[in-house]
Structure 1
Amino acid sequence: MTPEVRPPSPCADGVPSDLLRRTVADGMLVAPTVFGEDTRVADLAAFFEDDHVHAALVVDGSGRLVTVVDPADLMGRPATDLAATLGRLTDRTIPSTLDLATTWWSMRHSGRRRLAVVDAEGHLLGLLCLTRSGRGFCSDADVEARRRERASVLTPA
């Protein structure tokens, strides 16, 4: 029998103090990139060329999350396949009301860096993104700055 893995106390395990007494909603990106149900594998393959991208969120017309696609989900799939048929929601979504410090601990120890944040009806609220260092979460401002930086590199002066 495997012993239950429980998050240690924040004081004992180095949980960043800015994560304490906050919820997932406080740490999520509120404007993640989303894709519609008609998105193809080729579109997501291009999206995943950015090394900061680890998950693609596919939503229906009402904003309900249909699936979360990781790069590995595209392996061996024809470019014309619908992305909505790939990926999964299980273990890739999280409610917005959960404790942020406990979620941080769980993400660090599981190796998962992206979780889609959903409401009780499955509508997408945001994306929780663990930073590459694992010390905290990405912000909307960080993501926007990277977008502008990439755009400036791609746009000749």
Structure 2
Amino acid sequence: MKANRKARDENYLAGKQVRDVMINYPKRVDSTITIGQAEELFTDEHVHMLLLVENQQLVGTLLRTDLHNTPLPAELPAKPFSVLNGRWIHADHDAVDLLAWMSTQRIRRLAVADETLNLKGLVCLKRTGTGFCSNADVQGRASSA
């Protein structure tokens, strides 16, 4: 069943780029966020990656695991614990190739940015690994909360 769903989703994605499957208005946080503020945001089970921005520019990403190696004081800035390398992609990347890569690497979230790291969106791999979350999926969860 999963193989059929994956083939269907890959057919649906044929010819599409990341810009066609990304979430257009992901939640962003200011790069001055503290560890305590980040941990508070992570208490929402739907928040998996924080996108740290200065103006519109992506300066880092945070996952829960970036903060949980050792106990950290809540007042520390979170930015030094953020990661940029390997956590963003260009909007013109092929969506089918990205789906396959994210599935094999077990990566569920990637920021989408341009060449100067201006944040454009977020790609979110569905839990099934067969496709991407949509703007409608995100809006539906927000309205049911």
Q: TM-score, normalized by length of structure 2? A: 0.89
From 124, 128, 131, give the equivalent of 1:136. Answer: 131
- 2:109 counterpart of 1:114: yes
Amino acid at match of 2:48: H
From 87, 90, 97, give the equivalent of 1:95. Answer: 90
Is residue 28–residue 139 contact of structure 1 (8 Å, CA) maintained in 2? yes
RMSD: 1.3
1:139 Cα deviation (Å)? Answer: 1.1
CA distance in 2, matches of 1:97, 1:74: 31
- 2:74 counterpart of 1:74: no
CA distance in 2, matches of 1:133, 1:46: 27
CA distance in 1, matches of 2:111, 2:119: 7
Q: Which residue of structure 2 lines up, in the alignment, with residue 17 of structure 1?
A: 11
CA distance in 1, matches of 2:100, 2:35: 32
Amino-acid identity (%): 33
CA distance in 1, matches of 2:31, 2:13: 34
- 2:45 counterpart of 1:36: no
Where in structure 1 do 4 or more consecutive aligned residues deviate above 6 Å? none
Where do 5+ consecutive residues of structure 1 fail to align?
Answer: 1-12, 151-157
Is residue 58–residue 65 contact of structure 1 (8 Å, CA) maintained in 2? yes
Which structure has more relative contact order (CA 8 Å, sep 6+)? It is: 2
Q: Which residue of structure 2 lines up, in the alignment, with residue 65 of structure 1?
A: 58
CA distance in 1, matches of 2:109, 2:93: 15
Q: Secondary structure at the match of 1:16?
A: helix
CA distance in 2, matches of 1:143, 1:68: 19
Q: Which residue of structure 1 lines up, in the alignment, with residue 99 of structure 2?
A: 104
Where do 5+ consecutive residues of structure 2 fail to align?
Answer: 1-5
Decide which structure has greater strand share.
2
Who wins on radius of gyration, i.e. which is larger? Answer: 1
CA distance in 2, matches of 1:36, 1:53: 15
CA distance in 2, matches of 1:22, 1:93: 18
From 51, 54, 66, give the equivalent of 2:48. Answer: 54
Q: TM-score, normalized by length of structure 1? A: 0.83
Q: Which residue of structure 2 lines up, in the alignment, with residue 154 of structure 1?
A: none
Greater mean deviation of Cα atoms: 100-109 or 73-82 = 73-82
